[in-house]
Amino acid sequence: MNKTANHAQRVSVQFNRGLPAYVALTLYVLITSALLLSNTRTSLLTDIIFVLFLMGMLAIYRARVAGGYKLVLAAVVLLGVLPYFGTRNAFYVELAIQAAIFVTLALGLNVVVGFAGLLDLGYVAFFAVGAYLWGILSTPQIAQIAPGASPVEPWMFYLFLAIGLLVGTIFGILLGFPVLRLRGDYLAIVTLGLGEVIRVLAVNLDRPVNITNGSQGIKDVARPPLPDVLRALMPGLGDAQIYQIFIYLMALAVLGLTVLVVYRLKNSRVGRAWEAIREDDVAAVAMGVPIVRMKLLAFAVGASFAGAMGVLFAAKQQFINPPTFDLLRSIGILAMVILGGMGSIPGAIFGGTLVTLLDLQILPRIAMELSALKRQGIGIPDWFDPAQYQRALFGLLLILMMIFRPAGILPDERRREELSEGEGVEIVETATSPQPEAASS
């Protein structure tokens, strides 16, 4: 592994720093942007270009160029090209919005699982709480709970983003407090149970008092009023399209804020305390880390982002019902964190984007192309309909990823070093185990 890395380093050294890096990066971004803007129809080609285009973000992150230049390029990509492209093709912006939503969730879960080492299998519960908070209060559903009450004004949405944050935090503390005595797998199963409890409550709380409207879901969830600035910036576009860009920008803003907070936390005393807990909680206590408070903080921080994103999700979706918040969703978010690399912020961003794109764009596209091949009578037998087996493909991908890159795609630097140590130990162990076989027989 080291050999290939060195080789790679030698080959790409001319692109990786100095002027060539600037030129290569700029060219990459320009070319992919130009290609994207000239292919506005949804097709295989556009899909490929879109993925390459998003990979530009990875290139920007990885390249050794000045931080300021990175920021400028990222802003051009995320705030310029992508929204502009979104006015041409609504699908890809939808992908970007959902990616932003799930990346935020992955970042939040990363705080709990990656930073503090607490396995949480019911994370989607906090997301549900935020979504139902706005869903109930912004629709006539509120009158079912408190007769005579009227829904809050749509502009209060911004306030509710903050309230969602707060409610998420409170829920995080409430749920976290009793379970933090537990360790490892017990914590996992309890959080799993709590996640299911929230979902089943969402399904069942349509009686005796109709709070969540049960399995029917809540429709016509309010959206914040469209700012006139955006209308002025995008003349000639319909409200529906401007709305999408607007929601994209808001999701990006929440995501940006999350990244900032998580990044600062990670490199703060709190972050180091979490790391100490993750590595060895007994030793952490001995060193004077307030372990319960720190664990609670991790739970609360993780939950708060999910709560805020829930509010935004409800507004974006305009319809919420319980199936969105099932266990598979929690597992999906966990998969994002682990695929990306536990404890790694870029990893969570990458993992979240990757899984969302796989789910909504890449796998359906593969299925569609296979179907097209099938129609031409090539290779695929009649009984196999690729569109039905996307999930199996996702499962296969998870297995292969874990086997060939268990540390994640963009592992945390410090973690990676620890892991490579761990591998060494394991090699010794497996090497010794077959030998004493003779003795036992």
Partner 1 sequence: MKKQPIFFRFAVGAALAAVLAACAQPTPTSAPQQPAEPTPTTAPAEPTPTAAPAEPTQTPAASKGKIKIATQSPLSGGQAALGVGIRNGAELGLIDMGKALEEMGFEVELAPFDDQAKPEVGAANAKNIASDPDILCVVGHLNSGVALASLPTYRDVSLAMVSPANTNPKITESGYPNAFRVVGRDDVQGAVGEEFARTEMGIKSVYIIHDKTDYGQGVAEFFRQQAEKNGIKVLGFEGTEEKANFESILTPILAANPDLIYFGGIYDQAAPFFKQARERGITAKFLGPDGLDSPELLKLAGDAVKGMYYTSVAAPVSQFPDAAKFAEDYKAKFNEDAPPFSAQAYDAMGVCIRAIKTAADKNGGNKPTREQVVQAIREGGEYKGIAGTYKFNAKGDPEKAVYFVLQVSEEDGDPAEVWNKNKVVKKLEIPAP
Partner 2 sequence: MAVAALPTPTVRRTLRMTLASVFGPLGQVFVFVVGSAIVLSIGTLLIAFLLRGTRADVDLVQATLVILPQVIIDGLVRGFLFATIALGYTMVYGVLEFINFAHGEIFMVGAFAGAALGSILVSSGVLNALPVPLYVVVAVLVGMVVSGLLAVSIERVAYRPLRGAPRLVPLISAIGVSLLLQDGVRLIANLSGLGFNARFQTPNFGPPLRLAEIPVSEDRAIPLILDVRALTFIVAAILMLVALNYLVNATKLGTAIRAVAQDRPTASLMGINVNQIIALTFLIGGALGGAAGVLFGIRVGTVNPYVGFLPGLKAFTAAVLGGIGNIPGAMVGGIVLGFLEAFVASYLSLMTAGAFSGASYADIVAFSILILILIFRPSGLLGEAVSQKV
401 is a site residue for partner 1 (CB under 8 A): no
387 binds, among partner 1, partner 2, none (CB under 5 to 8 A by kind): partner 1
Neighbours of 391 (CB within 10 A): 11
Closer residue to partner 1 (CB): 44 or 260:
44
Which CB sits closer to partner 2, 73 or 335? Answer: 335
> What is the smallest separation between the CB atom of 374 and partner 2, expressed in angstroms?
15
Q: Could you tell me the smallest distance in angstroms from the CB atom of residue 85 to partner 1?
A: 10
Q: Which stretch, 50-58, 182-190, 265-273, 282-290, contacts partner 1 (CB under 8 A)?
A: 50-58
Minimum Å distance from CB 273 to partner 2? 16
The distance of closest approach from Cβ of residue 13 to partner 1 in the complex, given in angstroms and rounded to an integer, is: 7
Which of the residues 302 through 321 are near partner 1 (CB under 8 A)? 313, 317-321
Q: Which residues of 204-233 are buried (b: 16+ CB within 10 A; e: fewer)?
A: ebeeeeebbbbeebbeebbbbeeeeebeee
What's the first-to-final CA gap in the chain, in angstroms?
37
Binder to partner 2 among 280, 369, 413, 417 (CB under 8 A)?
280
Alpha-carbon gap, residue 176 to 295, rounded angstroms = 8
Pick the closer one to partner 2 by CB: 64 or 181.
181
116 with 176: CB under 8 angstroms? Answer: no
Residue 153 DSSP SS3: coil
Tell which residue, 345, 97, 34, 100, has the closest CA to residue 243. Answer: 97
Asked if 326 interacts with partner 2 (CB under 8 A), we say: no
76, interface contact from partner 1, partner 2, none, CB < 5-8 Å by kind: none
At residue 339, the 3 state secondary structure works out as: helix
One residue of 396, 413, 414, 417 binding partner 2 per CB under 8 A? 396
CB 203, min distance to partner 1, A: 6
Q: Is 423 a residue that touches partner 1 (CB under 8 A)? A: no
Q: If contact means CB under 5 to 8 A according to the sort of partner, which of partner 1, partner 2, none does residue 201 touch?
A: partner 2
Distance set, CA 77 to CA 61, 198, 231, 237, 441 (Å): 13, 38, 21, 21, 65
Binding mask 356-375 for partner 1 (x = CB under 8 A): ---xxx--x--xxx-xxx-x
Residue 61 or 177: the one with the smaller Cβ distance to partner 1 is: 61
Asked whether the beta carbons of 224 and 155 are under 8 A apart, the reply is yes
Kindly tell me which residue out of 60, 303, 339, 355 binds partner 2, with binding defined by CB under 8 A. 339
Q: How far apart are CA 250 and CA 390, in angstroms?
A: 30
**Residue in 69, 84, 196, 296 binding partner 2, rule: CB under 8 A:** 196
Instruction: Write out the E strands in 149-261.
Output: 218-219
Residues 149-178 that bind partner 2 (CB under 8 A): 178
Per CB under 8 A, 208 contacts partner 2? yes
Phi, psi dihedral angles at 320 (to 5 degrees): -130, 140
Neighbours of 329 (CB within 10 A): 19
Per CB under 8 A, 1 contacts partner 2 = no
- Residue 204's nearest CA partner among 338, 75, 322 is 322
For 202, counting Cβ atoms within 10 Å of its Cβ (0-12 exposed, 13-18 middle, 19+ buried), the class is: buried
Q: Judged by CB under 8 A, does residue 189 bind partner 2? A: yes
Say which residues have a Cβ less than 8 Å from residue 380's Cβ, sequence separation at least 6.
Answer: 370, 373, 374, 386
Report d(CA 285, CA 271) in Å as an integer. 15
Q: How many other CB atoms are there within 10 angstroms of residue 395's CB atom? A: 11
Q: CB nearer to partner 1: give 13 or 66.
A: 13
Q: Which of residues 81-120 bind partner 1 (CB under 8 A)?
A: 87-95, 98
| Interacting residues toward partner 2 by CB under 8 A | 113, 119, 178-179, 181-186, 188-190, 192-194, 196-197, 200-201, 203-204, 207-208, 280-282, 327, 331, 334-335, 338-339, 342, 383-384, 388-389, 391-392, 394-399, 401-403, 406-407, 419, 422-423, 425-427, 429-430, 432-434, 436-437, 439-440
